[in-house]
């Protein structure tokens, strides 16, 4: 890689680095990039901020169509079930197409897959604005699900490729914050657009996606960090190989929890609980969801920095513990203030969890290895949780009680906590310290090759074997 990120000097090293080569991602010696940045303050490359801006545009656009989609589908004189299925079809296609997206990433690379994915969603969303019949709207949304999983899986891969190993938590926190803020602002704008026309939000979302595509293409078209042109000999990590690593198994479970709680139960069960048990209206529901998002946003960046300094396990464990306690508490109170407090606890837990398990995924895979199926498996875990969680929690609440439904959700988070207790620490600086410990500290979880700037090895992947 010959063109470093702006402001980091030149890089004359060859693609096969030595132990003293400089890493263009952070301007530090590649041999030292597992540390905490004490010798030379590392900065996130420009490419990370490009992805963050694009994710904000995508998230705000997705939020814009949220208030319009069910009512737009219902306007075609179909029942409530059919109108709701338009929303479910998008998630279902995302889930089914994820393995194919993983293979596309492995075959063609992250950047092309990302651009094609966002372009597909842009085209399908604009077509939704011109749908004349219900089946057309359903078809266009389903096609959008294909593009959505393409850019989601590839975006994770791009973030892994361009982020310095010692800054992966911070990069993930910044990326997650952009999605969160876009998701909060989107519905506000969407509610105003719905007053103009039910079709207007789709046009605006389509334009936002086109802008995101142009931004990423223009800014990353000559980026050596985002390119994989010179990595033809890079090893491929399969999903089965990644499963042999306990930290990847823990990350899968915690992402399932994230999908179940944050993407699923939060949006489906909490509004019903507020109405049926607390006897409050939609305004109170909006307040509760806003408090969750605010607590999440306040914690994300700090937890990412903590994960880069003290390890991936502590914030992951703290996040899962808070998610478990918070969700169980939601179903045990009929007091609105205690309910809001439990909502904040749950939001803080989600904020602690996300940067740490995303960074651990990056540590396991490494920045050089091709692992589309590994990325797809991680994303599918969240999608499964988002689809199964509301269905299971709703059925339990209907058959038994809301308390039981929230308790089962807490058990899912507790299962993730147990797997993270058994996981290995993968923070590069911790791994390096373990390798240098003559007293027989824990074996290495991350690849020494990656910390020295050499290509990650194949076999069980960049994070080492699981004995």
Give the 3-state secondary structure of residue 235: coil
The CA–CA distances, whole Å, from 84 to 261, 312, 360, 465 equal 20, 38, 35, 45
Beta carbons within 10 angstroms of residue 357's beta carbon = 32
Alpha-carbon distance 428 to 35, whole Å?
7
Q: How many CB atoms lie within 10 A of CB 410?
A: 22
* Cβ-based neighbours of 295, under 8 Å, separated by 6 or more: 343, 344, 345, 346, 347, 348, 351
Going along the chain from its start, the domains and CATH numbers come out as 43-223 (1.20.1250.20), 236-433+444-467 (1.20.1250.20)
At 39, is the secondary structure helix, strand, or coil? coil
**C-alpha distances out from residue 180 to 59, 348, 450, 464, Å:** 7, 13, 31, 33
Cα 128 from chain centroid (whole Å)? 26
- What is the separation, in whole angstroms, between the first and last Cα of the chain? 34
Predicted local confidence at residue 414, as pLDDT: 95
Each residue's pLDDT expressed in tens, for the chain with a length of 467 residues: 334 333 333 333 333 333 333 344 443 333 334 344 344 446 888 888 888 888 888 888 887 887 788 778 888 888 767 776 787 788 788 888 888 988 888 888 888 899 999 999 999 999 999 999 999 999 999 999 899 989 888 888 888 888 888 888 888 888 888 888 887 787 778 777 877 888 988 999 999 899 889 988 888 887 776 666 555 566 778 888 889 999 999 999 999 999 888 877 877 788 788 888 888 877 787 788 778 888 888 898 889 889 989 999 999 999 999 999 999 999 888 899 999 999 999 999 999 999 999 889 988 887 666 778 888 889 889 888 888 888 888 888 888 988 999 999 999 999 999 999 999 998 887 777 766 664 544 444 444 334 434 434 333 334 444 43
- Separation of alpha carbons 159 and 173, rounded Å: 11
Distance separating alpha carbons of residues 404 and 407, to the nearest angstrom? 5
Q: Provide the pLDDT for residue 29.
A: 37
**370 three-class SS:** strand
Interhelix angle 200-220/46-65, rounded to 10 degrees, is 170
Q: What DSSP character marks residue 167? A: G
pTM of the model: 0.74
What's the rounded Cα separation, in Å, for the pair 410 and 342?
12
Pairwise CA distance, residues 74 & 85, whole Å: 11
- CB contact at 8 A, 117 and 149: yes
User: What DSSP string describes 305-336?
Assistant: HHHHHH-SHHHHHHHHHHHHHHHHHHTT---H
23's enclosing H/E stretch is strand 22-23
Structure tokens given for 170 = 């911070």
Whether residue 416 contacts residue 251, with contact meaning beta carbons closer than 8 Å, is answered with no
From residue 179, alpha-carbon distances to 189, 230, 261, 363, 457 in Å are 15, 31, 17, 22, 32
Locate all alpha helices (DSSP H) within 130-234, ordered by sequence.
134-162, 168-196, 200-220
CA dihedral 322, 327, 333, 339 (to 10 degrees): 70
Radius of gyration for the alpha carbons in the chain, expressed in angstroms and rounded: 22
Exposure string over 49-59, b if 16+ CB within 10 A, otherwise e: bbbbbbbbbbb
SS3 449: helix
User: Could you identify the residue written with the tokens 């389509």?
Assistant: 206
Identify the helix (H) or strand (E) that includes residue 28: strand 28-29
CA distances from 210 to 69, 87, 119, 202 (A): 20, 22, 7, 12
Could you tell me the two tokens for 134? Answer: 């219900």
The total of other beta-carbon atoms located within 10 Å of residue 254's CB is 34
The number of C-alpha atoms within 13 Å of 143 and in the hemisphere containing its C-beta is 17
The whole-number pLDDT of residue 446 equals 43
Q: Map residue 29 onto helix, strand or coil.
A: strand
Distance CA 50, CA 297 (A): 20
Residue 29 pairs in a beta bridge with 22
């Amino acid at each position: 890689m010959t063109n470093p990120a702006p402001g980091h000097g030149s890089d004359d090293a060859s693609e096969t680095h030595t132990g003293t080569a400089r890493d263009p991602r952070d301007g530090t010696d590649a041999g030292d990039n597992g540390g905490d940045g004490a010798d030379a303050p590392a900065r996130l490359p420009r490419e990370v901020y490009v992805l963050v801006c694009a994710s904000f545009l995508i998230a705000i656009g997705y939020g814009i169509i949220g208030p319009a989609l069910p009512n737009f589908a219902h306007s075609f004189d179909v029942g409530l079930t059919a109108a709701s299925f338009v929303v479910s079809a998008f998630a279902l296609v995302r889930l089914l197409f994820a393995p194919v997206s993983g293979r596309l990433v492995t075959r063609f690379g992250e950047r092309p897959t990302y651009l094609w994915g966002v372009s597909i969603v842009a085209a399908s969303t604009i077509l939704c604005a011109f749908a004349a019949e219900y089946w057309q709207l359903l078809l266009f949304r389903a096609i959008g699900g294909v593009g959505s999983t393409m850019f989601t899986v590839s975006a994770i891969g791009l973030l892994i490729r361009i982020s310095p190993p010692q800054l992966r938590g911070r990069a993930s926190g910044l990326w997650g914050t952009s999605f969160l803020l876009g998701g909060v602002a989107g519905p506000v704008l969407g509610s105003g657009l719905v007053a103009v026309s039910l079709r207007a939000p789709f046009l605006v979302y389509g334009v936002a996606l086109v802008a995101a595509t142009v931004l990423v293409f223009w800014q990353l078209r000559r980026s050596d960090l985002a390119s994989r042109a010179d990595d033809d000999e890079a090893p491929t990590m399969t999903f089965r190989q990644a499963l042999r690593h306990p930290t990847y198994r823990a990350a899968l479970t915690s992402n399932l929890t994230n999908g179940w709680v944050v993407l699923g139960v939060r949006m489906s069960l909490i509004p019903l609980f507020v109405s049926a048990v607390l006897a409050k209206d939609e305004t109170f529901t909006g307040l509760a969801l806003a408090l969750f998002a605010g607590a999440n946003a306040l914690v994300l960046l700090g937890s990412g920095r903590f994960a880069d300094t003290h390890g991936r396990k502590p914030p992951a464990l703290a996040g899962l513990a808070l998610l478990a306690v918070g969700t169980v508490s939601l179903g045990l109170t009929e007091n609105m203030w205690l309910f809001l407090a439990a909502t904040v606890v749950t939001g803080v837990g989600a904020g602690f969890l996300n940067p740490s398990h995303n960074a651990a995924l990056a540590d396991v895979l490494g920045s050089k290895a091709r692992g589309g199926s590994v990325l797809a498996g991680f994303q599918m875990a969240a999608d499964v949780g988002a689809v199964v969680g509301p269905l299971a929690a709703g059925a339990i609440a209907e058959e038994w009680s809301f308390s039981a439904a929230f308790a089962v959700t807490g058990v899912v988070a507790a299962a993730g906590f147990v797997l993270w207790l058994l996981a290995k620490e993968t923070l590069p600086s911790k791994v390096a310290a373990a390798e240098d410990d003559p007293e027989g500290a824990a074996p290495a979880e991350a690849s020494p090759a990656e910390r020295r700037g050499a290509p990650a090895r194949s076999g069980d992947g960049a994070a080492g074997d699981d004995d």
